Amino acid sequence: MSSVGALAVMAMALLTNVDVVGRYVFNKPVQGGLDLVELLMAVIVACGIAVTTAVDDHISVDSLFDKLPSFGQRILRIFAGLLSSVVFAILAWQSVQGGVDVFDSAKATNILKIPIYPFQFFLAVGFMASLIFSVVQTILLLRTKKK
């Protein structure tokens, strides 16, 4: 997922640069450039959220957390893991539902007419991967002995 996300970011950066140069230097923007950037954004979000969850590197505020005793920190981590799992489950479910709706309606990008449903389902895969990572991390936290 990390490599796919990195390739998507590089492709989007290259496409944006070519589009800007084409638009302002040659007065010829990339045909469908915005379509491609929007689709690449779904790939970047799906990969980014999954990788961030896998390495347990989401943004957190430690000012209150560090002041809690170890038992309080453990309880807070378990609560955060459970809450994250619920949120990722909802996001995965809604992404699958959205993918089915987009597939049924045969929606495509405006200019290039690329079908949107594969990217919607890829987003669902990213949320499902995040859900799995979050559940596993929470189970491991529950199984470790208290300090």
- Indicate whether 56 pLDDT > 90: no
The pLDDT of residue 68 is: 81
pLDDT (mean) for 32-57: 91
Structurally, how many domains does the chain consist of? 1
Count the neighbouring beta carbons within 10 Å of the beta carbon of residue 11: 15
Range of the domain at 11: 2-143
The pLDDT of residue 146 is: 62
- What is the chain's alpha carbon radius of gyration, rounded to the nearest angstrom? 20
The pLDDT of residue 112 is: 92
What is the reported pTM? 0.84
Split at pLDDT 50, 70, 90, the class of 7 is: very high
Phi, psi angle pair for 33, to nearest 5°: -60, -40
Give the CA angle between residues 13, 15, 21 to the nearest 5°: 100
How many residues are present in the chain?
A: 147
Of 101, 108, 135, which is closest to residue 39 (Cα–Cα)?
108
- Indicate whether 126 pLDDT > 70: yes
The pLDDT of residue 147 is: 52
The pLDDT of residue 42 is: 93
Count the neighbouring beta carbons within 10 Å of the beta carbon of residue 18: 13
The pLDDT of residue 144 is: 82
